[in-house]
Amino acid sequence: MAHDARIFVAGHRGLVGSAIWRELQRQGFTNLIGKSRGELDLVDGGAVKTFYAAEKPDYVVVAAAKVGGIHANNTQPVAFLRDNLLIELNLIHGAWEAGVKKLLFLGSSCIYPRLAPQPLKEEYLLTGPLEPTNEWYAVAKIAGIKLCEAYRRQHGCNFISAMPTNLYGPNDNYDLNNSHVLPALIRKFHEAKIASAPSVTCWGSGSPERDFLYSDDLAEACVFLLEHYDGEPFINIGYGRGLTIRELAETARRIVGFPGDIIWDTSKPDGTPKKLMDSSRIFALGWRPRTDLETGVRLAYGDFQRRFGGI
Ligand SMILES: NC(=O)c1ccc[n+]([C@@H]2O[C@H](COP(=O)([O-])OP(=O)(O)OC[C@H]3O[C@@H](n4cnc5c(N)ncnc54)[C@H](OP(=O)(O)O)[C@@H]3O)[C@@H](O)[C@H]2O)c1
């Protein structure tokens, strides 16, 4: 990519989009385009068409999506299916119409069947039933992958897809009603430290295993794929190592500096016992993550303190 190429990062204020934006700036790309939802609602097809005609981006990164946890998925199935389908369709179809050189679509590991073997390999897509608690979101994300494939096959577009593992980093969501596990732990330990509470209660047994990647590493992987990958098969992006929620919680507790105990409430559900990504395809292409958990959690907690230190 030329350093003055016009690159539109859809969702540039979110966890993923903001990391990609920083990485592109760090690598010297000077012509970045970002629009807040107020400036451009990606669900609005007419607005997206007008945007493409006016801005004429060379590259597009689809890091905008309606995201949320189990509760949000259960109570707003239409929003998760409809908004995400419309965002994808508007951005992908519009990119074809506008002659965009390359588009990167971001999905998530929830596209895989609920009982797929571990670690998750790309070829397990559509080999079994989805996890029912987030199937609306997963179906929309699978449609996004298939849209990229369809525009490649029918129109010769260079549209690629990547599936990140569980992410954490700056600009994460710390709202306890719908945040992911690490931001929730950071906030709980921070608040317990301020309140001198004796303990923090965490959901489940702590035994489930997940693959956690720092968002800046994901961003490097995305720019790497924009520069070096033009294939049709989508690519997993993970850290490449499983970690139990208990290990994650202990690391977060130590870094936040909460001296109390962690109580595991085993009456609460654990979720899938193991959800790990097989990232051997992207590793074979030459990308590797750099940020270990200790460093990443320190950076994430620093960002939390800057944004919400007074909570
Ligand atoms: N976070 C993870 O652990 C994770 C893991 C795997 C994959 N991913 C994938 O990465 C992508 C981004 O996730 P994220 O964690 O960065 O989410 P996020 O922090 O919630 O960011 C999503 C962004 O999309 C924007 N957006 C949503 N609907 C929009 C609309 N109608 N018009 C314009 N902008 C809209 C949001 O704008 P507002 O701020 O205005 O709402 C926000 O900037 C998603 O596809 C997700 O599946 C994330």
Q: Can you list the positions of beta strands (E) in 49-177? A: 59-62, 102-106, 159-164, 166-168
Residue 56 maps to a domain: yes
**Both 189 and 138 in a single domain?**
no
**Both 163 and 95 in a single domain?**
yes
**Both 75 and 192 in a single domain?**
no
* CATH number, position 220: 3.40.50.720
172 CA closest ligand 1 atom index: 19
Mutate to test the pocket of ligand 1, among 16, 36, 139, 185 (most ligand atoms within 8 A of CB): 16
3-state DSSP helix/strand/coil percent for the chain, to nearest 5?
Answer: 45, 15, 40
3-class DSSP assignment, residue 179 = coil
- DSSP readout, 180-246? -HHHHHHHHHHHHHHTT-SEEEEES-S--EE-EEEHHHHHHHHHHHHHH---SS-EEE--S--EEHH
- Average pLDDT of the residues in 235-245: 97
**Both 21 and 164 in a single domain?**
yes
Residue 23 maps to a domain: yes
Residue 80 maps to a domain: yes
**Both 264 and 297 in a single domain?**
yes
d(C-alpha 278, C-alpha 287), whole Å: 14
**Both 194 and 259 in a single domain?**
yes
**Both 223 and 253 in a single domain?**
no
Overall domain count for the chain: 2
**Both 36 and 161 in a single domain?**
yes
pLDDT of residue 73: 82
* Maximum CA extent, the chain: 61
Residue 281 maps to a domain: no
Residue positions counted in the chain: 311
Residue 248 maps to a domain: yes
Residue nearest to atom 21 of ligand 1 (CA): 14
**Both 102 and 45 in a single domain?**
yes
Residue nearest to atom 1 of ligand 1 (CA): 167
d(C-alpha 133, C-alpha 203), whole Å: 17
Task: Output the CA angle 177-183-188, nearest 5 degrees.
Answer: 75
pLDDT of residue 175: 87
**Residues near ligand 1 (Cβ within 6 A):** 11, 13-17, 37, 41-43, 63-67, 83, 87, 106, 108, 164, 166-167, 173, 180
Per-residue pLDDT tens for 250-304? 999 999 999 999 999 999 888 788 999 999 999 999 999 999 999 999 999 999 9
Share of the chain above pLDDT 70, in %: 99
**Both 75 and 196 in a single domain?**
no
Residue 75 maps to a domain: yes
d(C-alpha 36, C-alpha 34), whole Å: 7
Task: Output the CA angle 143-144-147, nearest 5 degrees.
Answer: 85
- Kindly report which listed range (72-81, 122-131, 140-149, 204-213) carries the lowest average pLDDT score: 72-81
Residue 161 maps to a domain: yes
- Is residue 124 part of the annotated active site? The answer reads no
- Average pLDDT of the residues in 108-126: 96
**Both 203 and 217 in a single domain?**
no
* Residue 311, pLDDT above cutoff 80: no
pLDDT of residue 167: 96
Mean pLDDT of the chain: 96
Among the options 52, 137, 151, 239, which is catalytic?
A: 137
Q: Which of residues 105 and 203 earns the better pLDDT score?
A: 105
d(C-alpha 155, C-alpha 173), whole Å: 38
* CATH number, position 301: 3.90.25.10
- Average pLDDT of the residues in 95-118: 97
Residue 97 maps to a domain: yes
- Average pLDDT of the residues in 1-14: 98
* Residue 310, pLDDT above cutoff 70: no
**Both 155 and 250 in a single domain?**
no
Domain that holds residue 254: 181-209+242-275+292-305
* End-to-end C-alpha distance for the chain, whole angstroms: 42
